[in-house]
Amino acid sequence: MTDPRKQDFSPTLIDFGPIQFYIARHFGFCYGVENAIEISYRALEENPDKRVFLLSQMIHNQEVNRDLQSRGIKFIMDTDGTQFIDWKELNADDIVIIPAFGTTIDIENKLTEIGIQVQQYNTTCPFVEKVWKRSEKLGQDNHTIIIHGKHNHEETRATFSHSNQTAPSVIVRNLEETVQLTKVMKGEISKDDFYSLFEGRYSEGFDPAKHLTKVGVVNQTTMLATETQEIADFVKQTMIEIYGNDELKDHFADTRDTLCYATNDNQDSTYGLLEMDADIAVVVGGYNSSNTSHIVELCERKFPTYFINSDKEIISNTEIHHYDYNNKRKLISEGWLPDNEPTKVILTSGASCPDTLVDAVMLKMVSYFNKTKSVEELMEEFK
């Protein structure tokens, strides 16, 4: 049955016989990422005699970035803003691609001063730009912007750069930090303690006594949508406690329409996976991918979960190299693949992972089992 409104988040079962996969209903590349990659390859084709640079990683996927680099693209900085190539080395003839996460106004201005056509190959995701536009509108209506995100993530840096042009802005990482912020709103935490707790995460001239009385919450689009909504609901409830329900509209803006549909769909599809009875979960994606890490976080609630960036991390049916996102370290696990039949596997990926990588992981796992159905047989079943 077709699902034109994408409301069915139940997974698809791919049954090879001795091994079965539950595949998320929605996973892999979103529109913003597909668009960014397409524009990057077009920039290379259209400028064979020019130097082509990426401001930073196009997306948080090692395989895609390695391929772009192999074709001659150079990265100006890493995702945390550490400079590889000095601005002085660039000239007006160079091509600079803005990644899907967008960039700060300061960096845009630097490139413009050099003479580089910033908008020529700007791949900023439309959903990121939607957050910027909503932030601008909220600022014009005298709201302060609370950004749910990781303050050193390039998308959050870009959103913060845009939002604080028109509005006082502050970044919260999670609900715990939001609770601290609401204590500032209620006068339970002092102004000085606010500056200490949120150092490096508030806009210049931010005065918590003045700037936390009328707010709206937006997010880094790759954060858990449910967590962003939880944060917004908590702030909303605080405003009701302080000002009363009748005055809420003068102190809090409903911004749930800024949540990215693709991140939402991938995460909702992961909740669909959690309904399944499976032995393990395998999540494919870049180790520095925020949205992929959240999918890993969800899967870990129920299954032994292996976070890998490609099929190359699967060494054998007894050894896998995978990533511990919480502690930021690589792990090697033995005896990872159960030998019961059928072995049931949850398989999904983040929004920055090509479908071909997921296919390669699935086929490599299938190769460790005997008497499996062929891909052609399965294709016939799905016709």
281 and 345 Cβ atoms separated by less than 8 Å: yes
The partner residues of 27 in beta bridges, in order of sequence, read none
Based on the number of CB atoms within 10 Å of its own CB, is 20 exposed (0-12), middle (13-18) or buried (19 or more)? Answer: middle
CA distance 226 to 223: 9
| Three state DSSP letters for 14-45 | EECCCEEEEECCCCCCCHHHHHHHHHHHHHHH
Three-state secondary-structure class, residue 127: helix
The partner residues of 98 in beta bridges, in order of sequence, read 122
- Please count the other Cβ atoms lying within 10 Å of the Cβ belonging to residue 247: 12
How far, in Å, are 142, 206, 236, 238, 248 from residue 241 at the CA level? 21, 23, 9, 5, 10
Active site residue 155: yes
Among residues 63, 108, 154, 155, the one annotated as catalytic is: 155
- Residue 99 corresponds to which tokens in the numbers above? 């990644």
Kind and range of the H or E run holding 252: strand 252-253
Q: Which residues contact 132 (CB under 8 A, 6 or more apart)?
A: 102, 158, 159, 162, 163
DSSP state of 258: G
Q: From edge to edge, which strands make up the β-sheet containing 95-97? A: 74-75, 52-54, 95-97
- Please count the other Cβ atoms lying within 10 Å of the Cβ belonging to residue 284: 30
- Hey, which residues are catalytic here? 155
